[in-house]
Amino acid sequence: MTYSDHIEARFERCAARLGLSHAATEAMGVLVSLDLDPSMAPADPHGRQGVVGWDRLYVGLVEKGFTPGEVEEGVNELADWRLAQIVGREANDPVVSGPAAVRLTSEGRACVGLAPVPHYDDAAPEGADEAGWLVLHGASRERLMSEASGHVGHRAFRPLVAVASEGVSRLAGGVALSLCASGCVVVDATSLSDGERASLVPEMLWRTRKGAGLRVLLAPSPVPARVPAADGGVRLRWVEPRSNDKAADLDAEISRTLVEGDPDAVFADVCGVPGGQIALPRRVDVSFDDIVVPEGVRQQLEQVRMHAHYRLEILPTLTAFKGRGSGYRLLLSGLPGTGKSMTAEALATLLNRSLVKLDLSAVLSKWLGETEQLIGQVFDMAEAAGSVLVLDEAESLFRQRQSGAQGANALSTAVAYLLTRLERFSGVLCATTNRTQDVDEAFFRRFNDYLILPMPDAAARQRLWEMMLVNAGTADLSGLDVGLLAEQFTVSGGLIRGAAIRATAWAAGLDQPLDMPVLLAALGRELEKSDRSAKAVQIEPYAADVRRYLQVEG
């Protein structure tokens, strides 16, 4: 390919990808020809290099059949993309007498092949045929970057970082260059202040709205892009924050990639130390089939599922309920370990929603009004994210309203606010408690369903023992009398889970298969944690070995 062929191909690519009008394309051609052969036009009367006077450009295009309006619109179009500079338009440009000068910018030269581009991919990436802007917002910068890399179809993209001091023209030129070179662009506006985004983002979206190729903008908030989105050509998409084992603001996929790439690496190496968060949406994967309960309770769980689906999907479509809040609120009661939290997670999985837990210790404050403000933030975030909001140990807050301790008045105010906020909550909320007698009566009235999760019966306990042992890593259950454990010990699923994990760990540490004495001894330790006597596990013919593991006298 000759150099002239290269220029022609890149020029056509530039005009197509940026959607340049006929007049803008013709004006661009004049400027490119002038750069290739300065003798084609008389020298600028003020001695400025590489420029053509506005009067000469204007007359030349009008003589080719363009209207004066088309000429002005075309040249301004080039200036909006920063392919051409109208000298004197920017605040720091020199201003001289006579017609304005027009010349190619560095971005304009690169787009048409007169200068090398920073990166070049002749094959358009997957998704490059999409037009317009996609604004990703809501998550951390790293999470947004990871999401953007998926949209543009490759990870080797070079995001443009929006810098307020460089102005919108420089940013628009970078967008034009990336579209012409790679067919897509990612602009990172996360580091701008709210005021800088408000002045920079709408203008940039407007200037770069035409053309082909996917453009992705990263921002913490959709507010600056909402008006351009209403005018068309801009799509808004909220990115759900994700948490991982070490840090809530880091992307889990990137963390796993870094750890897997280095056999000596651990999550602390690549994630650092996590910061504090009041609440954060997270995804769970729990099925209602994973919850082991008596058959009667399982039927109630099915009724909960049907009720939630109707209130969330059908009720809002009925004329009588349009425009009114129609969320779903479930109160779960039961002893510790009976599956209350697991039921809430199963509901979130069933509804394909993330989960948000309201940590009361994080929102209770001694400062007047701050508790209500923090509670409101969590409710608002869960509602906007479409998450299932879980309020664990609900009685710990509502019980305080009856307390005469110091600070009770402030807590009573918080309870009153929570009751009001719960009334108008249009999302999904699950509250759990094991002390229903301490819950305020007004609290019950605001729930659509109330479900008691009882202690599992013998059949359910046997299924729990088998499932928990297998999940903990015990492959062979043939040497274990699981039926005896289920019949002899009335314990919750949480306690069974703890005993199964403890017993499996002991067996692995002793380098021996898991047997009944180890399993009974592990159960004894779990009973002691629940303030119950471990003597009950000393059953024959395993009593002597169990006492040895528990280090007690016969």
pLDDT band at 258 (very low <50, low <70, confident <90, very high): confident
Window from 21-30, 135-144, 167-176, 441-450 with minimum mean pLDDT: 441-450
> Taking the CA of residue 529 as centre, how many other CA atoms within 13 Å lie in the half-sphere pointing to its CB?
16
CA angle 329, 334, 335 (to 5 degrees): 145
pLDDT tens-digit map of 131-160: 789 999 988 888 888 888 888 866 446 789
pLDDT confidence of residue 316:
78
Work out the average pLDDT over 265-283.
Answer: 65
pLDDT confidence of residue 369:
66
pLDDT confidence of residue 97:
76
Work out the average pLDDT over 345-354.
Answer: 88
Higher per-residue confidence, 550 vs 384: 550
pLDDT confidence of residue 121:
57
In terms of average pLDDT, the best of 64-78, 145-159, 288-302, 460-474 is: 64-78
pLDDT confidence of residue 244:
45
pLDDT tens-digit map of 167-198: 899 999 999 999 898 888 899 999 999 999 99
In terms of average pLDDT, the best of 400-404, 415-419, 487-491 is: 487-491
Give the alpha-carbon dihedral of 36, 37, 38, 41, to 10 degrees.
Answer: -120
Q: What is the CATH number of domain 288-452?
A: 3.40.50.300
Percent of the chain topping pLDDT 90 = 25
Asked whether 498 and 336 are in contact (CB, 8 A), the reply is no
Distances (CA, A) of 240 to 150, 153, 192, 390, 490: 15, 20, 21, 17, 41
DSSP symbol at 124: P
Mean of the per-residue pLDDT values for the chain? 82
Give the alpha-carbon dihedral of 389, 392, 396, 401, to 10 degrees.
Answer: 20
Which fold, 133-238?
Answer: Rossmann fold (3.40.50)
Which fold, 3-111?
Answer: Arc Repressor Mutant, subunit A (1.10.10)
pTM higher than the cut 0.95: no
pLDDT confidence of residue 445:
78
pLDDT confidence of residue 108:
93
Strand pairing report for 101-104 and 52-53? antiparallel
Equal CATH topology for 133-238 and 288-452 = yes
DSSP for 471-539 reads HHT----TT--HHHHHHH----HHHHHHHHHHHHHHHHHHTS---HHHHHHHHHHHHHHTT--SGGG--
pLDDT tens-digit map of 471-510: 888 878 888 888 999 998 999 889 999 999 999 999 999 9
Q: Is the pLDDT of residue 111 over 90?
A: yes
Task: Quote the tokens at residue 502.
Answer: 């403890």
Q: Is the pLDDT of residue 12 over 90?
A: yes
pLDDT band at 408 (very low <50, low <70, confident <90, very high): very low
Cα–Cα dist 246/104, whole Å: 50
Task: Quote the tokens at residue 166.
Answer: 């460089």
pLDDT tens-digit map of 296-312: 888 888 898 889 888 88
Percent of the chain topping pLDDT 70 = 82
Work out the average pLDDT over 276-300.
Answer: 79
Cα–Cα dist 467/447, whole Å: 32
Show the DSSP H helices in 405-492 as ranges. 408-423, 441-445, 458-472, 482-488
Q: Is the pLDDT of residue 248 over 90?
A: no
pLDDT confidence of residue 216:
93
Work out the average pLDDT over 426-430.
Answer: 87
pLDDT band at 367 (very low <50, low <70, confident <90, very high): low
**Burial 256-268, CB ≥16 within 10 A → b, else e:** eeebeeeeeeebe
pLDDT confidence of residue 407:
45
Q: Is the pLDDT of residue 78 over 90?
A: yes
How do the domains of the chain map onto residue ranges?
Answer: 3-111, 133-238, 288-452, 458-550
Show the DSSP H helices in 52-105 as ranges. 54-63, 68-80
Work out the average pLDDT over 449-469.
Answer: 89
- Number of Cβ within 10 Å of residue 337's Cβ equals 22
Higher per-residue confidence, 164 vs 530: 164
pLDDT confidence of residue 43:
53
pLDDT tens-digit map of 229-241: 888 888 898 887 7
In terms of average pLDDT, the best of 39-43, 76-80, 156-160 is: 76-80
Task: Quote the tokens at residue 74.
Answer: 């075309």
pLDDT tens-digit map of 321-334: 665 556 888 988 88
Nearest to 334 by CA among 256, 435, 419, 414: 435
Cα–Cα dist 77/209, whole Å: 11
pLDDT band at 272 (very low <50, low <70, confident <90, very high): low
Window from 325-329, 430-434, 538-542 with minimum mean pLDDT: 325-329
